[in-house]
Amino acid sequence: MNNLLQTPIEYLKGVGPARGELLRKELGIFKYQDLINFYPSRYIDRTRYYKINELQNSNTEVQVVGKIINIKTVEQKNGKRLVATFADDTGQMELVWFQGQKWIRENLKLNLPYVIFGKTTSFGGIFNMAHPELEPLTEHEQSLRSAMQPVYPSTEKLTQRGVSNRVINKMMQQLFMETQALFVETLPQYLIEELKLIPKNAALFNIHFPKSSDILAKAQFRLKFEELFFIQLQLITKNLVHKHKIKGHVFDKVGENFTNFYNHHLPFDLTNAQKRVLKEIRNDMGNPAQMNRMLQGDVGSGKTIVALMSMLLAKDNGFQSCLMAPTEILANQHFIGLTELAKDLNITIKILTGSVKTAERKIIHEALENGSLDILIGTHALLEDKVQFQNLGLAIIDEQHRFGVEQRSKLWKKNDIPPHVLVMTATPIPRTLAMSLYGDLDISVIDELPPGRKPIQTVHRFDSNRLKVWKFIADEIAKGRQIYIVYPLIQESEKMDYKDLMDGYESLSRDFPLPKYAISIVHGKMKPADKDAEMKRFSQGKTNIMVATTVIEVGVNIPNASVMIIESAERFGLSQLHQLRGRVGRGAEQSYCILMTSQKLSADSKIRMETMVRTNDGFEIAEVDLKLRGPGDIMGTQQSGVLNLQIADIVRDKDILLLARNYAVRLLKDDAQMIKPEHQAMRNVFIEMTKKKNIWNYIS
C-alpha cells in the first residue's frame, strides 16, 4: 500500500505537470503522501443552512438553499457586473459577479435548486453575496464534502494560478478515492485501545472531511498525539543509548563529608524541592552510567547548596569536582558562596579564572594533579589543556546555553571515564519546550523558594510618575537600603543607549547630590578593573545607587539592595526582566521592582508588563514568553528546527505532549529495542524517521 503513496503528485487526476510543479514549489508537496499530510489550517461550519429572512449583516460565511429566478447585466462606471436574483420561501437576495461573467451566465440554470455559500452584506435593505460558491443541490448532497469545510494554507501564487481552496479540496477527494484510504496503522493496538484513539484511517479521513466538530476533535487528537509520541520516542531513545553506552563512576557511599554537612552545617532546612532533587542526583550518581541531568531553579531557589552537596558526595567517593561558570563575576560568586557554606568542613576549594596570577595557577595545577584539591571553580580557563585533574568525578556547568557542545566535551576528555554532568540554569525553560529540546537530558526542578524570602513587589510606572518614584528611592535609601537602576543595551543603538545611561546618571547626580548620596556606574565601555572597583564600592555599601546597563543581569548578590528600577522596560524581553528582578529580594527586607516605560506600549509590551506585575513564578513567565515569541526565538534558530511540527503546537498542546512522553517512556522501559511483534509497525516508522529529517512523510 505504501508504494502507492510514493507516487509523484502530478499523476493524481486533476493535477498534471504544471500544477504539480506549483505544488512542489509553493507547498513542498512532491508525492501523494505529502498531500495527505497537508492539513487544513481551519474549518468553516457548513452544518447550518440559513433562510434569507434569517441573514444578518455580520460578515460571516453562510450557506443558503434556493433558486435563481432572474439574471441581468448592470452597467457601472468601470465595466459591468452580473446580478442574479436568488429566492427561497422566505424572501429574495442578490448574487453579484464582477469577473468571469460570460462563463457564469452560460452555466447558470434558472429555477434549479442551488446551495450558495459566501459572505453576505446588506445594501439598501437587500442582502447580496459577491462571487458565491455555487453547487446544484443534488451534487451537494452526493459529494464527499463534509459539514465542516476545511480551509487549507495557501500562497498568493497559488491563488493567482487558480489553485483555490476548492481545487485543493477536489484533489484531496480524488486522492482518497484512489488510495481507498488504506493507511497502515502505526501505533500498537493496546495503546489505541487504552487512549481510545480513533484508527489511523479514520483520523486521516476526518481531518480532511469531518462530518462534525466532534469527530474532527478526535482526528486532531489522534494525529497530534502520534506526531509528539514519535518525537519523544527519538529523544528518549537517545537518552537510553547514552545511559547504556557511556559508563560513569559509581558513587555508592554516602560518607562523612555529606552527613556531617547535612547534620551540622546546613544554614537552613532544605525545602522539599531541594530534597527531591538531591535524591534524583544521588540515584543517578549511584548508577554505573554517566549522569546527564539538568537542574532548573529560579533565581534564589538554592541551587548552590544542591551543587555543594553533590560535590561532597563525589569527595566521599574519592573524586574531585569542578564548577564552570560563563563569567568571572559568576565564578567569583560561586566561589564566595561555596567557601562560606563549606568553611567548617575539611575540604579545599580554589578558583581559576583569567585574572589568576601565574604563581597561583602553578599551585592550583599541582594540587589538582596530586589530588589535594577537592573542588575547582572557574570560567573557560578550566578547559585549558594545562588543567589536569587526578580524578574528576563531577562537572557542574552553570547557565549551559552559554557553552558550546565542544567546550563541554573538553571537560569530559579530562578523564578516561567521563565525569557525571549536572547542568544548572536559572533561566526557567517551559516544561513543554524542555521536553522537546532537552528530552535527552533528565530534568530536575527546584520549584519552591527557601523560607524567609519575601516575594518581590513589582509595579509598572509611566515616565510621567518619575517624581513619585524618586521620592520612593530617597525613602528607601533613608532606611539604609541600596538601589539598582538599569538601562537597556541594544547593540545597534549603542551610542543612543550610552547617551540614555549618561543622561540618566547626570540627572540622578543632580537629584541625589554628594555628599548625602553616592552613585556607582557600570557599563560596557569601561575597563574590567574599573567595573570591578565600582561593583566593589556598591557591594561594600559605599554607594547607594548603582546605575548600569545589563552587565549586572547574572549572579550579582548584594542582599542590602532592595529596589530594582528598570528604565525603558518595554525594550527588554520577559526572561531578561525576570532575571534582572532576581537581583533584589536576596535579604530579609521587602524588595521592590519598578518597571518604567513610556505611555505608548505595543500589545505585547503590555502583556509583558502585566505578567511581571502579576507573578514572580519564573516558569509561568517562561510560558507567557513562549506564547509571545514562539519556540524558535527562545531557543535560537539552530535548535528550533527540531520543532518543525505539522499539526501539533508545542504551546497549545502541552497536555498531549506530556501524555505522549509518559507513554513513550513506559513503552521503551518495557521494550527498548521495539522488537515485540505488537511494536513492529511502530519500529518501521521509527527507523524511517531516524533516516529522514522530515519525520512526517513516513508515518502513514
CATH classification of the domain holding 261: 3.40.50.300
Q: Residue 217 corresponds to which amino acid?
A: A
In a domain, 467, yes or no: yes
In a domain, 3, yes or no: no
Tell me: do 261 and 387 sit in the same domain: yes
Tell me: do 401 and 481 sit in the same domain: no
Reference 83, options 92, 685, 74, 196; nearest CA is 74
Q: What is the CATH number of the domain that holds 62?
A: 2.40.50.140
3-state secondary structure of 622: helix
Cα separations (Å) of 655 from 204, 346, 435, 699? 22, 48, 12, 22
Tell me: do 533 and 592 sit in the same domain: yes
Q: Give me the pLDDT at residue 698, please.
A: 38
Tell me: do 333 and 462 sit in the same domain: no
Task: Examine the fold and report which residue of 114, 144, 174 is the final residue of a domain before the chain moves on.
Answer: 144
Whether 621 contacts 615, CB under 8 Å = yes
Tell me: do 478 and 413 sit in the same domain: no
Q: Give me the pLDDT at residue 263, please.
A: 94
Whether 566 contacts 578, CB under 8 Å = no
Residue 475 belongs to domain spanning = 457-615
Q: How far apart are CA 565 and CA 465, in angstroms?
A: 13
Reference 396, options 505, 295, 315; nearest CA is 295
pLDDT digits (tens, 9 = 90+) for 344-401: 999 999 999 988 999 999 999 999 999 999 999 999 889 888 899 999 999 999 876 5
In a domain, 472, yes or no: yes
Which residues touch 26 (CB under 8 Å, ≥6 apart)? 155, 157, 158
Tell me: do 266 and 400 sit in the same domain: yes
Which residues touch 515 (CB under 8 Å, ≥6 apart)? none
Cα separations (Å) of 266 from 213, 261, 349, 406, 592? 58, 6, 18, 36, 29
Q: What is the dihedral of CA 110, 113, 116, 121, to 10 degrees?
A: 70
Is the alpha carbon torsion for 194, 195, 196, 200 positive or negative?
Answer: negative
Q: Give me the pLDDT at residue 183, please.
A: 85
Reference 416, options 290, 280, 287, 237; nearest CA is 290
Q: How far apart are CA 600 and CA 584, in angstroms?
A: 28
Which residues of the chain fall short of a pLDDT of 50? Answer: 553-555, 635-642, 694-700
Please compute, for residue 591, the number of CA atoms within 13 A of its CA located in the half-sphere on the CB side. Answer: 27
Kind plus residue range of the DSSP H or E element containing 67 = strand 61-76
Kind plus residue range of the DSSP H or E element containing 483 = strand 482-486
Tell me: do 480 and 371 sit in the same domain: no
Whether 77 contacts 26, CB under 8 Å = no
Task: Examine the fold and report which residue of 569, 589, 615 is the final residue of a domain before the chain moves on.
Answer: 615
Tell me: do 416 and 486 sit in the same domain: no
Tell me: do 407 and 461 sit in the same domain: no
In a domain, 665, yes or no: no
Q: How far apart are CA 540 and CA 531, in angstroms?
A: 14
Task: Examine the fold and report which residue of 598, 615, 632 is the final residue of a domain before the chain moves on.
Answer: 615
Tell me: do 526 and 602 sit in the same domain: yes
In a domain, 184, yes or no: no
Count of domains forming the chain: 3
Q: Residue 638 corresponds to which amino acid?
A: Q
Please compute, for residue 596, the number of CA atoms within 13 A of its CA located in the half-sphere on the CB side. Answer: 20
Q: How far apart are CA 402 and CA 427, in angstroms?
A: 12
In a domain, 416, yes or no: yes
Q: How far apart are CA 234 and CA 144, in angstroms?
A: 37
3-state secondary structure of 481: coil
Tell me: do 532 and 389 sit in the same domain: no
Tell me: do 604 and 562 sit in the same domain: yes
Task: State the CB neighbour count (10 A cutoff) for residue 343.
Answer: 9
Q: Residue 538 corresponds to which amino acid?
A: F
